[in-house]
Structure formats: structure tokens, C-alpha cells
Amino acid sequence: MRKLFVLSLLVSLPWVCLSQSFLSNKQIDSLISIMSPEEKAGQMTQIDLGVIAEGGICNLVQPQALNLEKLKTAIVKYHIGSILNVGCGSGTISMESWHKIINTIFEQNKKYSHLNIPIIYGIDAIHGANYTMGATLFPQQIGQAATWNPGLVKKMYQITAYETRASGIPWNFSPVLDLGRMPLWSRFFETFGEDVYLAKQMSKVAIQGIQNNGISGPNQVAACMKHFLGYSMPLSGKDRTPAWISDRELREYFLPTFREAINQGAKTVMVNSGEINGTPVHINYDILTTLLRDELGFKGVAVTDWEDVYKLVNVHRVASSKKEAVKMAIMAGVDMSMTPNDFEFTELLVELIKEGSIPMSRIDASVRRILVLKNEMGLFQFKKITKDIYPLFGSKEHAQKSYELAAESMTLLKNANKTLPINASNEKVLVCGPSANSMNLLNGAWTHTWQGVDSRFNTKGKFTIFEAMSLYNASNVSYALGSEIDSLKDIEACVQAAKLVDKIVVCLGETPCTEIPGNIDNLDLSVAQKTLVKRLKELNKPIVLVCCFNRPRLLNEIAGIVDAILYAYLPGDEGGRAISDCLFGVKNPSGKLPFTYPSSQNSFVHYDRKHSEDLDVDFSENAYKPQFDFGFGLSYTKFEFSDFSLSKDTLNNFDSLVLKVNVKNIGDRTGQEVVQLYYSDLVASITPSVKKLMAFSKISLQPNETKTIVFSVHKKDLSFVNKELQEVTEKGDFDLIINNQKKRIYVN
């Protein structure tokens, strides 16, 4: 009966030809007006691929394939609106397999669903389309930030969008906009680092690159801002444990990247799984509605994180039943629940709708946002996906961009006695350590599998550090493991091999991991890796460290005894080549740390929260003692800064001043430098930052070349969030600082 009724409505509605064109707002409203509670609740449900695939949840048949009966149930009985990822415990599949999955979902939906509302597929394409075989894998976000090159980062996101769409998937759960201010946190590498300004620039280009001015084209996907809000700062450093963040700090540090992304038109957001000041964000109306919708004007879809509605009962204990939890999350502002392994959410939501516990207006608002998203993605005009229009998927051109990004992220933290670069033709070198010959340790988590440790799926034809170095001069490059991540391995053989060479490259690493499996108790580097370095040091030969870490593991015991340190972050599939090229001097490192490198356990003062820089101030009052400063990174050449000038020394409302500085390459090779402009607010109503980044520019200089860099400074660039939670620039003196140059201005 109902089917007949729906059919007759369909015929009478203007959107009957919805497979032909985008829907108008009116058509979307008409559609909503004939949807049943079940269909609405279904739209608000997102399940994992595992629920509709062959095999059991977390024990799927490999490679994943759909189970048509399960899919039919999901469509007919639950009317599901969205599906995600590769299935718990599963890995990368080929582009063809993706096409089969996506095409089948659409065909079956068309066959069985009354309204034929398309199902939206979402995936974690975190550093490239990492769940599609052969896709281009880039450095993780922390390495992207270390390039200080937004143009290159934007290109990476464009390629990722292209390769994700090539797989048939229109929604990417990326980028992570959480600020990396807690080095212990297992997802530190997924952030753009600790600084608000740098992370904001990266967030901006990430959204621009992913969405590419739209979300329906063949190289456009919807971005998802993660994880709103305050997820990255758990007090314990452990994932999804409570955070205590004042409203002022939320706005000063954690909000700006999201605000920037919303201004760039980001279409979706994922909610923070944790709690802030005792309130789980999934039930926080102030954050999910008042701030996100009313203040920031976000109009897109808010999806929960993994199973987080249920966690309101069993982890946070703010709801006594799952039904109550569903109601709380929806009323706080959630549009879609990443349920993801069953349909209980859907059933409970239907009950709540039917008994009137959640107003229909609230449900319709979410359903409308979801339908608008699908419409904007072009899903109502879905055509069978084929490989043909994506000739550049996994291409050499894309790999080259990944290489450039990786190479520009390489951060030279020490280079005593010009140990680097190594002369490939004259010097014999031993490469050892856990990351010397591993693709997985270059890529980190979210690589073919969630935790990224399974090497079976690795892309063929990519080079580890050792392999890439051997390409130069195999007879001069030898390899010995020496140590795995946590235990020494063939150390004696390694020491013997080291006796035969001129220089030793020790490649340190960390097991790929993310989220709760990546929790650690402290930042110590393993005893085994430190022992390896110390044993090799006994040979009295130059030692170079290459660091491929998820987060800054402490180098305090070994930084002083080695000769050079190249910090490589998690540089991706082209990381081996990029590292090798920097070690051999084909590339001149130009990365700068996007975070303050701690020197000891708990030395967690960020560069912008240190107190006075005045040497008279007792160290205990300052407590800023990093291993390496934020923004630090050496080059094989040297730069000299001079002639810092300002167009005026007083800044009034709506004024701007022009600042100039000369930068000269005084070394003997071409190099890139990041010109970093900081300011210092001398006195303010809350303790001001002694140093805060406000602009930067990455330039390239030939030997002896000088460039004049120009920045313009506005009053609003010097603002902070005050006690009343307003962004203000207070009157008074400010210093503007570039490298060793400083000028004072007065702000009216």
C-alpha cells in the first residue's frame, strides 16, 4: 500500500527525474515531506563496510566483497544513508574492487529503495587515497606542515581528491584540524603541528585542495574537518581521555583552524570523541550548535566519530541507555551517526521520532543537510564509475609531487662539521636501524590498513631509505639492521659492518600506530635504539640520525653524541628517495619544525607560551627548554638577514604597515629559507605570548642572491582572545621579529 502511495507521490512531484539533474531546495523539501521516520533515521545512519560485506565483522573475506543479502537488508529495512571505510580489520583494495563495490551499492539501492536516495560513501584518505591499491601516498600532515609550503600542500590535497574520486568515493574524512599541542598524543603526526597561524594556513589549502571549488566534479570530494573541538589535547596525552581546556584557550588555540576551514566552505565535520571539562562533545549543545552553527555559520553535515553515541553510555556514562544517548547526541547537533557495526542507532532513532521525543523539525534539519550534501556531490545523477577518466591515478606525475612534498619537509636539526651531505662516490656508508629498510615506518598509520603495520599491501616499486641510497652507488652503501623498534637485532654484525665505512646513518623509528593503540606512557626512545647509537658511537665515526617518528621521541641522550640529525617525520612512499637525496646533497633540506621539540619528559612548554626571553629571568620561571625550537631547521647553505625596515612605527585602527627585510644566501649552494615573522605583545591583560608567528614566506636563493621580503601587518594580526572571549588587539608596544632582527611599534 505504502509503496503505491509513495509511487503516486513520486509521479506528482517535480523531482521525478532526479537522476537527471541537481535538485532544487524545493525538491529537497518535497522529498523530505514524503520520507517516513524509518527513511529519515536511515539517512542519519552510517555503517561500516563490514556490515554489508562477506564474512564477519572484523573478520571479513579478503579482498572485501559485498554480500548482497546484507546490503539488501541495509537498504530495504534500514534505509541507510551512508557507508564508510574498508571494514574493520581489513585493508586496501584495488580501484576495480572499489568500483564494483560503489556501483553495486548504487544499483542495489536503485533496485530496492523506494525513494532511491543515493548512499554516500566516506573514507579516511588521510595522506593520499590510502585504501586504494597503487594510490599516491604522501607525507603525513605533520610533515606537510614542516614544508611551510602551502602551495605544495594544496597540490597534495588536489591529487588526493582526484585519486579518492577515482575510487568512486566522494567524501574524505580529512583533514585533521586539531592543533598538535600534546606531543604524547598518538595522533600528533596527523596534525599540522602546534602553531595556530601555520596550522591555519595549512587547513585553508587542505580544504581548497580537497574540495577544489565544489564537490561534484571528477577531482572534487567533500572534506571533513576533524575532530570538532579540542580533541588533540587530552590531559593524559592518551587518546580519547578527558581534556580540560578553558573556553578562552579553546578559542585561542583550537578553534581558528576550524573557523578557517568553514570560511573555505568545508562541507562536513566530525565530532571529537572525547570530553572537555567533563562534558562529552557529542552531547555538547554549546559546541555543536551554538558555536558551530550559530556563531561560525557552518551549514554542512556533522557526523559522529566511531561508535561515539554508544560510548555516551558505556564510556562517558552521561546516558543511562543507548536510547537516551541517541536523543542527547541528536539534540546537541549531530546529523549522522557513525554507528557503525549494527542498526541499533537507527531503530532507537525511529522510536524516538515516532513517540515525539525528538521534534520532527530537528530531524528534518539533519536530513536536509545530508540530502543537500548528496545533491551537491552530484550523487543524484550518479553514473557508473569507470577507470577511464583517471589516467593520472598513481602516476609518476603524482609520485613526483609526493616526492617534492617529502623532500621539502626534511628538517635538518644538526649538522656538525659538515657531516652532511655525504659524498656518494667517495664515502662508504652503513645504513642501519629500524626504519632503514621499511616502507611501513616511512608511512605510518592509515596506510593500506588502519594501523599501517601490514606490509602485504605496500605499493610496489617504492624505495626504502636503504634502497634509495643504494641507487646512487650500491658498492658504497651497505645495510645492517642493528635494532628493531624495541629490541636489538644483530647488533654485533651491525657494529662489524660499521667498522668498514666512513659514515653511519642510523634510521630511528616508531611502530606505525594511531588512536588508542598508539597510546604511550612517555616519549622515551626505546632503550634498544639508544643502545644502537651508543654502541656505534664507540667506533668514533660520524653518525647521522634519520628520525621517522609518529611524534617527537626524546633525543636528549643521543643528540649530543651524534654529528647530524635529519628529522623526516612520516614522509610517505617517496620518503626513502627524499631522505636519500637530502643525505647525499642532491636536495638541500628546507623543512622547519612545526612544533617545539621537547627535551625531556614533560618539557611541554610551547614556544608561544614560554615566559620572558630575558636572560635575567631565572630559568625556573621560564621552563622553556626545548631540544629544538619551533620553526627551527638548518640548510646546507647559510642565510643572512639584514635591513629590517618598517613603513611606520605606529599602527592605528584599519591601518597597515609594510615591513621589509633582506635575506641573502651567503653559502655556496642554492637553498630555500622560510622567512618567519613573529610578534611579541609586551604587556597585555592576560599573559601575552613572548613570541607568536604571524606570517611566513618560503623563498629560494642562489648563492650570493639577495631577496627583499615584504609583509604587511594589520592591527588584527596582533590579536588574542581576552577574558571576555573576544578577539582583541590591545593598545601598547609590540615587537616585530624576523630571525635576529627586531623592531618596536606602538599600536593605538
* Rg, Å, the chain Cα set: 27
Whether 119 contacts 79, CB under 8 Å = no
Alpha helix segments (H runs only) across 584-630? 619-622
The 479-498 contact track toward ligand BGC, x by CB under 6 A, reads --------------------
The 140-179 contact track toward ligand BGC, x by CB under 6 A, reads ---------------------------------x------
Residue closer to ligand BGC by CB (options 271, 431) is: 271
Residue 715: CB minimum distance to ligand BGC, A: 37
Residue 305: CB minimum distance to ligand BGC, A: 5
Question: Which of these, 514, 510, 500, 505, lies nearest to 553 by C-alpha position?
Answer: 510
85 near ligand BGC, rule: CB under 6 A: yes
- Give the Cα separation of 243 and 539 in Å (integer): 47
Whether 639 contacts 665, CB under 8 Å = yes
Q: Sign of torsion, CA 426 507 441 567?
A: negative
Q: Quick one: cell of 334?
A: 549531530
Residue closer to ligand BGC by CB (options 305, 376) is: 305
Buried b (16+ CB within 10 A) or exposed e, 118-139: bbbbbbbbbbbbbbbbbbbbbb
Q: Sign of torsion, CA 631 635 640 644?
A: negative
Residue 591: CB minimum distance to ligand BGC, A: 25
Instruction: Based on DSSP, count helices (H) and strands (E) in the chain, helices before strands.
Output: 22, 30
Residue closer to ligand BGC by CB (options 444, 598) is: 444
Residue closer to ligand BGC by CB (options 176, 495) is: 176
- Give the Cα separation of 363 and 370 in Å (integer): 11
C-alpha dist (Å) from residue 572 to 30, 163, 167, 275: 47, 16, 20, 32
Residue 85: CB minimum distance to ligand BGC, A: 5
Please, what is the end-to-end C-alpha distance for the chain in angstroms? 73
Question: Which of these, 595, 588, 582, 664, lies nearest to 631 by C-alpha position?
Answer: 595
Distance of CA 521 to the CA centre of its chain: 23
Residue 273: CB minimum distance to ligand BGC, A: 6
Residue closer to ligand BGC by CB (options 59, 602) is: 59
- Give the Cα separation of 176 and 681 in Å (integer): 30
Exposed / middle / buried, residue 344 (Cβ in 10 Å: 0-12, 13-18, 19+) = middle
- Give the Cα separation of 548 and 139 in Å (integer): 11
Residue 352: CB minimum distance to ligand BGC, A: 25
Q: Could you give the 3-state DSSP secondary structure of residue 733?
A: strand
Buried b (16+ CB within 10 A) or exposed e, 610-635: beeeeeeeeeeebebebbbebbbbbb
Residue closer to ligand BGC by CB (options 85, 464) is: 85
CA angle 532, 486, 566 (to 5 degrees): 55
627 near ligand BGC, rule: CB under 6 A: no
Residue 680: CB minimum distance to ligand BGC, A: 36
Residue 81: CB minimum distance to ligand BGC, A: 16
- Give the Cα separation of 542 and 561 in Å (integer): 10
C-alpha dist (Å) from residue 599 to 33, 427, 510: 60, 32, 18
Residue closer to ligand BGC by CB (options 48, 467) is: 48
- Give the Cα separation of 731 and 652 in Å (integer): 9
408 near ligand BGC, rule: CB under 6 A: no
Is-catalytic flag, 48? Answer: no
Whether 89 contacts 451, CB under 8 Å = no
691 near ligand BGC, rule: CB under 6 A: no
Residue closer to ligand BGC by CB (options 90, 665) is: 90
Judged by CB under 6 A, the number of residues near ligand BGC is 10
- Give the Cα separation of 648 and 746 in Å (integer): 10
Residue closer to ligand BGC by CB (options 155, 311) is: 311
Residue closer to ligand BGC by CB (options 173, 567) is: 173
Question: Which of these, 479, 375, 471, lies nearest to 429 by C-alpha position?
Answer: 479
Exposed / middle / buried, residue 425 (Cβ in 10 Å: 0-12, 13-18, 19+) = exposed
Residue 84: CB minimum distance to ligand BGC, A: 6
Residue 515: CB minimum distance to ligand BGC, A: 6
Residue closer to ligand BGC by CB (options 236, 246) is: 236
Residue selected from 15, 64, 124, 665 as contacting ligand BGC according to rule CB under 6 A? 124
Residue 332: CB minimum distance to ligand BGC, A: 18
Whether 133 contacts 393, CB under 8 Å = no
Active-site residue among 48, 195, 305, 573?
305
Residue 270: CB minimum distance to ligand BGC, A: 6
Q: Output DSSP code: residue 432.
A: E
Q: Could you give the 3-state DSSP secondary structure of residue 54?
A: coil
User: Residues 260 to 319: which contact ligand BGC by CB under 6 A?
Assistant: 270, 273, 305-306
203 Cβ neighbours under 8 A, 6+ residues apart: 175, 177, 192, 225, 257, 258, 260, 261, 264
The 191-230 contact track toward ligand BGC, x by CB under 6 A, reads -----------------------------------x----
Residue closer to ligand BGC by CB (options 226, 587) is: 226
Whether 636 contacts 671, CB under 8 Å = yes
Residue 126: CB minimum distance to ligand BGC, A: 8
Residue closer to ligand BGC by CB (options 168, 175) is: 175
The 502-531 contact track toward ligand BGC, x by CB under 6 A, reads -------------x----------------
Whether 644 contacts 659, CB under 8 Å = yes
Show which residues are catalytic: 305
* Residues binding ligand BGC (CB under 6 A): 84-85, 124, 173, 226, 270, 273, 305-306, 515
